[in-house]
Structure 1
Amino acid sequence: MRKIYVPTAGPEDWRAMLADPVKQWRQGFSAVSAAQSWEAADGLPTEVAQILGPDAELLLAIPEHKVPLPGGSRASQCDVFALVSTATGICAVSVEAKVNEPFGPTVGEWLRDPSEGKVTRLTAICEMLGVAFPPPDDLRYQLFHRAAAAIVEASRFQTSSAAMIVQSFSPEHRWYDDFSVFCDYCGVNAERGVPLTVELPDGRRLTLGWATGSPLD
Structure 2
Amino acid sequence: MILNSPNGKNIVSVEDWFSYAPPLKGEDQWKEGRSAKELAKAWFRNETAQMPHEMLTLLESYPITRGAVVEYGMIEKETTLDDFHGSGRKHDLVLSGTNAAKGLLIAIEAKTDEPFGKRIGDYLTASVKANPRSRVPDRIRQLAEAIFSHTEVEHLRYQLLHAVAGTLIEAQLQKAAHAVLIIHEFVPPTGKTKKAEQNERDLQAFVGELLQRRKIEKGKLVGPIHVPGGGRISPHISLYLGKIETNL
TM-score of the aligned structures, taking structure 1 as reference length: 0.89
**What is the Cα deviation at residue 65 of structure 1?**
1.0
Among candidates 90, 104, 118, match of residue 136 of structure 2: 118
Deviations 1:63-112 (A, max 9, x none): 11111111332111111111132233222121110012121211111111
Q: Secondary structure at the match of 1:40?
A: coil
Further displaced range: 126-135 or 187-196: 126-135
User: Does the CA-based 8 Å contact 2:6-2:74 persist in structure 1?
Assistant: no
5+ residue gaps, structure 2: 61-65, 229-234
Distance 2:91 2:208 in 1: 22
Q: Does 1:52 align with 2:59?
A: yes
**Hey, what does 1:193 align to over in structure 2?**
219
Q: Does 1:69 align with 2:81?
A: yes
1:193–1:29 Cα change, 3 Å: same
**Hey, what does 2:119 align to over in structure 1?**
106
5+ residue gaps, structure 1: none
TM-score of the aligned structures, taking structure 2 as reference length: 0.78
Distance 1:168 1:68 in 2: 25
**Hey, what does 1:129 align to over in structure 2?**
147
- One-letter amino acid of the structure 2 residue matched with residue 34 of structure 1: L
Taking the TM superposition and a 5 Å limit, the aligned residue runs for 1:1-217 are 4-16=7-19, 17=21, 18-40=23-45, 42-53=49-60, 54-70=66-82, 71-112=84-125, 114=128, 115-135=133-153, 137-170=154-187, 171-172=191-192, 174=197, 175-187=199-211, 188-197=214-223, 198-201=225-228, 202-215=235-248
1:4–1:64 Cα change, 3 Å: closer
Deviations 1:171-194 (A, max 9, x none): 436421111111001114221111
User: Does the CA-based 8 Å contact 2:6-2:75 persist in structure 1?
Assistant: no
**What is the Cα deviation at residue 124 of structure 1?**
2.5
User: Does the CA-based 8 Å contact 1:50-1:193 persist in structure 2?
Assistant: yes
User: Does the CA-based 8 Å contact 2:172-2:237 persist in structure 1?
Assistant: no
Further displaced range: 55-64 or 141-150: 55-64
Greater Cα radius of gyration, structure 1 or 2:
2
**What is the Cα deviation at residue 61 of structure 1?**
1.0
- One-letter amino acid of the structure 2 residue matched with residue 51 of structure 1: L
**What is the Cα deviation at residue 116 of structure 1?**
4.7
Percent identity between matched residues is 23
**What is the Cα deviation at residue 140 of structure 1?**
0.9
Tell me the C-alpha RMSD between the 2 structures: 2.0
Aligned length: 213
1:123–1:55 Cα change, 3 Å: same
